[in-house]
Amino acid sequence: MADVEECVFCKVARGKIPAYILHKDEHVLAFHDINPQAPVHVLIVPIKHITDLEAIGAEDADIVARMFQAARKVAQELRFESNGYRLVINNGRPAGQIVPHLHLHVLSGRSFGWPPG
Ligand code: AMP
């Protein structure tokens, strides 16, 4: 359980680290990224400590669905839904994952290039 004790997003979920929280329920948490890469940059994280996509179990299917539903809810509530937005999961260090707790980046408010950097 040491991972959970030290995990920055678990600490946010438990209120031990302050964050600008947009949505919280028993399954998922949405809050503004501390280092935004776009005018809107929200993180959606499961309350359960799941390190990455490989750690998602069959029993977590509902949580994963709820992460996407939370992204949509944030897009509606912050009124950027009709402007388009990008969802990103950096899975693993080579892909840019720094925090080993599964999270969905929700980015909006500017144009996005493709391929991504
Ligand atoms: P990743 O590189 O995909 O692991 O993304 C981790 C994200 O978490 C980065 O965009 C960070 O800016 C963000 N982050 C790290 N610590 C915090 C925090 N305490 N509150 C909000 N966002 C954070």
Binding site membership of 21 for ligand 1 (Cβ less than 6 Å): no
Q: Quick check: is 115 in a domain? A: no
Binding site membership of 35 for ligand 1 (Cβ less than 6 Å): yes
Q: What is the pLDDT of residue 5?
A: 85
What residue's CA is closest to ligand 1, atom 1? 97
pLDDT, tens digit (0-9, with 9 covering 90-100), for 19-31? 999 999 999 999 9
Q: Quick check: is 80 in a domain? A: yes
Q: What is the pLDDT of residue 77?
A: 97
Residue of 10, 29, 33 best suited for mutating to test ligand 1, as the one with most atoms within 8 Å of CB: 33
Q: Which residues are catalytic?
A: 103
Q: Quick check: is 38 in a domain? A: yes
Q: Quick check: is 100 in a domain? A: yes
Q: Quick one: which atom of ligand 1 is closest to the CA of 89?
A: 3
Distance (Å) from CA 31 to ligand 1 centroid: 10
Domain at 52, CATH number: 3.30.428.10
Residues of the chain where predicted confidence (pLDDT) is lower than 50: none
Q: Quick check: is 116 in a domain? A: no
What does each C-alpha distance from 36 to 39, 59, 65, 85, 104 come to in angstroms? Answer: 7, 32, 24, 14, 13
Report how far residue 49's alpha carbon sits from residue 6's, in angstroms, rounded to the nearest whole number. Answer: 11
pTM higher than the cut 0.95:
yes
Beta carbons of 73 and 23 less than 8 angstroms apart: yes
Range of the domain at 93: 2-108
Count up the domains in the chain and report the number: 1
Q: What is the pLDDT of residue 1?
A: 55
Q: Quick check: is 43 in a domain? A: yes
Instruction: Give the tokens for residue 97.
Output: 């994952």
Q: Quick check: is 117 in a domain? A: no
Q: What is the pLDDT of residue 4?
A: 85
Residue 20 burial (CB count, 10 A): 10
Q: Quick one: which atom of ligand 1 is closest to the CA of 32?
A: 21
